[in-house]
Chains A and B, each alone.
Chain A
Amino acid sequence: QQQVRQSPQSLTVWEGETAILNCSYEDSTFNYFPWYQQFPGEGPALLISIRSVSDKKEDGRFTIFFNKREKKLSLHITDSQPGDSATYFCAASGSFNKLTFGAGTRLAVCP
C-alpha cells in the first residue's frame, strides 16, 4: 500500500510560471511533511516542511498548502527558474520519526 502519493509524475513549466506539485497521504497519524529536492547524482536536500497544525508554509518562492481534512498538500514554486529543474519528493512522518516518501515529481523548467 502506497502511503504517500505524488502527482504528476513529471511536470514541465516555462520559466517564470508557477509549478504546482501535489501530494496526498493515507495515514492520519502523519503530522510532519517535508519536501526534498534532488538533483541527478546527489542526495535529497530538505527544501521546506510543514506540520499538520498549519495550513500554509512559505519560504521565498516555495509555498506548501496543507489540507488536513482531505489529507492533501501541494508545493507551489512561483517564478520557476531553470535551476529549479529537479525531482521533488514529498515525505511524511508521524510519531516514530520514520519518513515515508512519495515516488517523486520530476520538474523541468524550460527557459
Chain B
Amino acid sequence: GALVYQYPRRTICKSGTSMRMECQAVGFQATSVAWYRQSPQKTFELIALSTVNSAIKYEQNFTQEKFPISHPNLSFSSMTVLNAYLEDRGLYLCGARLNQDTQYFGPGTRLLVL
C-alpha cells in the first residue's frame, strides 16, 4: 500500500539553529508534495506546494529563505527550517499526492525549539 515516511519523527533544536526534515513516498510516485505545519492548536497551515520540475509555490507568510525545499524526484522531498524560533514549533506534515483525489500524509516531524 501507499505510505509516506517522514524523518526525523521528533527533533529539538536551539533557538536560532536550523534543522532539516525529510519525506519519502513509498509504493507510489507522488505527483506533488505539500508541506504543512500543524500548530499546537491543531490548525493546519500550508507552507508550500512542490511539483517535480516546477517552481515551488510558497504560501503567504512562508518563504523560500526561511523554509527551503528540495524535491529532486517523485518519491523524495526535504525541507529545512532555518533559524528556528519558538513560533516555528509544531508538527510538520508532508502530504504526497497520488492523484487528483488522493493525498497521503506522513506521521510528521515534531519540532521543539528551546
Interface residues of A (CB under 8 A from B): 32, 34, 36, 42-46, 49, 51, 87, 89, 96-101, 103-104
Contact = CB atoms under 8 A, between A and B. Distances in A.
A46 B104 contact: yes
B interface majority secondary structure: strand
Nearest to B32: A97
Contacts of A49: 101-102
Interface of B: 4, 6, 32, 34, 41-44, 46, 49, 91, 93, 95, 97, 100-108
A100 B101 CA distance: 14
Contact of B101 (A43, A51, A89, A104): A51
8 contacts: A32-B100, A32-B101, A34-B103, A42-B108, A46-B104, A98-B46, A99-B95, A100-B46
A100 B36 CA distance: 10
A46 B108 contact: no
Given A103-B42, A103-B43, A36 B34 contact: no
Contacts of A32: 100-101
B79 to A, nearest CB: 15
A97 B97 contact: yes
B32 to A, nearest CB: 6
A43 B49 contact: no
Contact of A89 (B44, B102, B104, B107): B44
Contacts of B97: 97
